[in-house]
Structure 1
């Protein structure tokens, strides 16, 4: 089993990749630097948004980004607020991109 990258290091690398792709991104909630989960929200600039979270498959142990929500931005924000209330170690990264680009499918980010 490959050791997991510390959350703070992953977030820093992800923000760099987003900046290089000219995708505005902000850390709106800083979680645990070592093991905090990460939620990525992308605002589509039309009043809607999507939220993604990385989860492990219980059968295989493989990790993948799953879509948590895709709806009005205020509803996505409410979901993230409820999730953060249950998990104060959660990182929240917000992106702004009309095309909905997150780069989460790219090598090094998707695993």
Structure 2
């Protein structure tokens, strides 16, 4: 079963809070099926940017699949610039940012 984007984002941020990771919604997209992009800010002026995997954005179990669209040494400003360009074509996307010095906030990208 696929979760609506709004529910997934809420659950993701709640899980991050429980793990001591600060996160916030920078931009709300379509409640039901907006594409979710997550910036993992490492607090050293580098970040990872995760976006929906091409093709099927969900696996057979309904879990979201991710690709790493940006990896360090890219900065959060670089990630936001890319997402601002994407907003011109997809105004329904979500932008979430979390701060995780040591990891990727539990997200893993497919190869």
Please classify the TM superposition score into its range, dividing by the shorter chain length: 0.7 to 0.9
Deviations for 1:33-54, whole angstroms, at most 9, x for unmatched residues? Answer: 0010100001111111110012
Deviations for 1:58-103, whole angstroms, at most 9, x for unmatched residues? Answer: 6xx7352100112122211211111123211101100112113321
Unmatched segments (≥5 aa) in structure 1: none
Q: Is the 8 A contact 2:39 2:76 kept in 1?
A: no
Structure-to-structure mapping, 1:42-61, within 5 angstroms: 42-57=40-55
Distance (Å, rounded) in 2 between the aligned partners of 1:102 and 1:57: 23
The root-mean-square deviation of aligned C-alpha atoms, in Å, is 1.9
Unmatched segments (≥5 aa) in structure 2: none
The counterpart of 1:23, out of the listed 21, 43, 58, is 21
TM-score (normalizing by structure 1): 0.81
- Name the SS for the 1:95 alignment partner: strand
TM-score (normalizing by structure 2): 0.81
The counterpart of 2:90, out of the listed 87, 91, 96, is 87
